[in-house]
Structure 1
């Protein structure tokens, strides 16, 4: 039987491959640079091939290193999952839960779910990692989070997506905007092209969905204002600096108080699908399954509340 690869060497290899720098890798691993260098040399001696080319202070994967990396991250992740599973069995209710979510989900969806979750798992260590949907897949693959509250991502073989609920994006204008007098009418493409749009960050799935949809409607966006916060975006719309694009559950408070008025974004609805993502093939623990169930229940209540309005 061939000799097994030392797990400490494999961890040093994976960390160095990610950073490309002995200094950064050593800092993350709480080791000296010489210790990381020694681990890599020992690994290369054991395998009989070079896995890195050293160019100045940078380390670049060789072809053999690239092949090893395809296995290394999966092996390390499975080792971590094995340890987490054993710890959870030994300390029921004292596990951890790492959830990634957008700032919007953190503000509007998570608080109630986490309150209920804590009642069932009072000793569970919870960590929330804020970030928009495109970053969540990377965080899952890097094993930085266990679950991601996210929009349906482009098809990927390594991320499993469980759909939870669907929302609809609408245009929102200030109460004194000319469109506010006819809130059910779809503005013409020319009218919509004449407006300044206040949109969520360009790097998000939502930004791409909105711009693609409007382009298909013949609407030309003129220097849209990008915001990293829905609250800030709503404030700009309320004072008349532009037209916002929000889901009703994000703007319900402002609609009820009359400071924002929803208007159809186009003839056809623009819908998004929200859900929970996790690495495919990963067995979810009791804490994660409980969180998922609570999130499904909260989403169902949210949709029922929106349907009644």
Structure 2
């Protein structure tokens, strides 16, 4: 039974002999003996089931079958050379790839600063970003379609490792003219009449907020949900409702007095952000650098009392 795949060593000998037309010269180029070249060609012809060379004294020339095979062999060897060059390129400083996943919020407020710093150390690294919600990031990691995911901590998934970055606190964000802002506290008796503006109803954050309100016995019937943090903040500014957001996504507005932050209640709703990856994977230098930069950039994102969380 003939083998389905040609031996690479036989193909190298074949290509050298076809180009040089001499067993002696082919042997010298490949640092082999003439006998080794002869055995390689004989084995290749037996595997191919036909003669590949015509012998005329010390010179050889390709048969028609040999010419046809050479066209394929040239392509195969060119691909092999390209593959080797690509692997060598990866081993050089600053080269390689980084496949990232991140929530829409992380893409907008965290990644730009992190990647700007990262590109200074790894200028030739090819970076791809797959934005999506929590469930999609978990799926992409488990399918090995991304290397790292900047996301909220996945609960109960033993196949994922998680490097914590910071803990934030979900709070009410409201316009300065709102009655709660003027009173300096949330008036629970008026909560049922308020329109809450929440992030995407299919998101992990919406689920956390809904569970919190249910556990606290708070009404969550009158709400709007949007897929953009910027849109939520703008609606809050013009008084169309009260947002439930983490203050770090509105740091500029809070500092300027355009928004006011108040706690949800006596019990805090906290979330843990970090970088997740498949457990058991050894992070590359580039990946470790990315995680370190995330830790540095998000130092100021933690909510009040987050150290105790």
TM-score by length of 2: 0.67
Provide the secondary structure at the position in 2 that maps to 1:91. Answer: coil
Stretch of structure 1 that moved more, 227-236 or 294-303: 294-303
Identify the residue that residue 125 of structure 1 maps to in structure 2: 126
User: For the aligned residues, what is the CA RMSD?
Assistant: 2.3
Larger Rg: 2
**8 Å CA contact 2:171, 2:263 repeated in 1:** yes
Residues 88, 229 of structure 1: alpha-carbon distance in 2 compared, 3 angstrom cutoff? farther
Q: 1:1-309 to 2 correspondence within 5 Å?
A: 90-183=91-184, 185-188=185-188, 190-303=189-302
Q: Distance in 2 between matches of 1:118 and 1:141?
A: 27
Whether contact under 8 Å (1:101, 1:136) holds in the other structure is yes
Q: How many residues align?
A: 222
**Contact 2:180–2:186 (Cα < 8 Å) also in 1:** no
Q: How far did 1:151 drift?
A: 0.4
Shift of 1:210: 0.8
Could you tell me how far apart the structure 1 residues matched to 2:91 and 2:106 are? 32
Contact 2:195 2:224 in 1 (8 A): yes
Mind listing any 5+ residue stretches in structure 2 that lack a counterpart?
Answer: 1-83
**1: CA distance, partners of 2:301 / 2:260:** 20
CA contact (8 A) 1:152 1:161 kept: yes
* Cα deviation, residue 305, structure 1: 11
Query: Do the aligned residues in 2 keep the contact of 1:196 with 1:221 (CA within 8 Å)?
Result: no
CA 88–281 in structure 1, closer or farther in 2 if over 3 Å, else same:
farther
Equivalent position SS for 1:210: helix
3-state SS of paired residue (1:263): strand
Return 5+ residue gaps in structure 1 as ranges.
1-82
Aligned partners of 2:88, 2:217: CA distance in 1, in Å? 56
Equivalent residue of 1:268, what SS? coil
Contact 1:98-1:128 within 8 A present in 2 as well: yes
Q: CA deviation at 1:87?
A: 5.9
